Amino acid sequence: MSVSSIARFEDVRKTYKMGLVTVEALRGVSLSFEAGEYVSIMGPSGCGKSTMLNLLGCLDRPTSGRYLLGDEDVSEMDDDALSIVRGLRLGFIFQSYNLIQQLSVLENIEIPLYYQGRPEAETRERALKLASLVGLEKRLDHKPYELSGGQQQRVAIARALINDSLVILADEPTGNLDSQVGAEILKIFDDLHRQGKTIIMVTHDNEVAQRTQRVVRLRDGHLESDVRH
């Protein structure tokens, strides 16, 4: 693995049992992601995009092959170890936001550090800075159901950043937003990339993918193409 490689698949395969049927979601994929890259993952429905993102996010394990995150092989870690890796090294942004409705904006942003037992003052200071970064400093006490879709996605972005993660993983982050609000969210991603963040994003939208510096395309569980702009 190269010095700057931050995540690497080595002949990764993932199969699922669905009754008597075995589904091959990924079929021997090898590729690496470098620190600071902004990558989009594309392909038709059922091609393996979500499976790849779940493996990258340590939400699942390869059936075979190796996945190295930083300098660690996380392929065969147990659930507790994977949970620690997710909390310390990864940030997630989902199409449906996945916010806790009973908590305020500020509390939702703080959640990852709360589970790590970080000092309350440190957590609060960082959450306030990130709320300001994504333009929510006047919405700190609001609950998610009091926010627009774009504002909820901004909360999700701030939450993904609070643990200073190695990699930000985004699953169709503008899929539920209209074009104007989606453009505002993508500008935040552009800014984060300029600051050196590593972003890997699943999208079906060619216009969104063109904003990234690299487009990985999957088809039928195989790596079809890998193009750097």
Per-position DSSP letters for 72-140, written without gaps between them: EE-TT--HHHHHHHHHHHEEEE-TT----TTS-HHHHHHHHHHHHT--HHHHHHHHHHHHHHTT-TT-T
User: For residues 129 and 77, is the Cβ–Cβ distance under 8 A?
Assistant: no
The pLDDT value given to residue 118: 85
The pLDDT value given to residue 71: 85
Tens digit of pLDDT at every position of the chain (229 positions): 444 689 999 999 999 988 889 999 999 999 999 999 999 999 999 899 999 999 999 999 999 999 999 889 998 899 999 999 998 899 999 988 999 999 999 999 999 988 788 889 999 999 999 999 999 999 999 999 999 999 999 999 999 999 998 899 999 999 889 999 999 999 999 999 999 999 999 999 999 999 999 999 999 999 999 999 8
Domain ranges of the chain: 35-61+85-228
The pLDDT value given to residue 50: 92
Q: How far apart are CA 177 and CA 24, in angstroms?
A: 32
Homologous superfamily (CATH) of 35-61+85-228 is P-loop containing nucleotide triphosphate hydrolases (3.40.50.300)
The pLDDT value given to residue 4: 63
User: For residues 202 and 172, is the Cβ–Cβ distance under 8 A?
Assistant: yes
pLDDT > 90 in the chain, percent: 81
The pLDDT value given to residue 8: 96
Q: Which residue's structure tokens are 């979500």?
A: 50
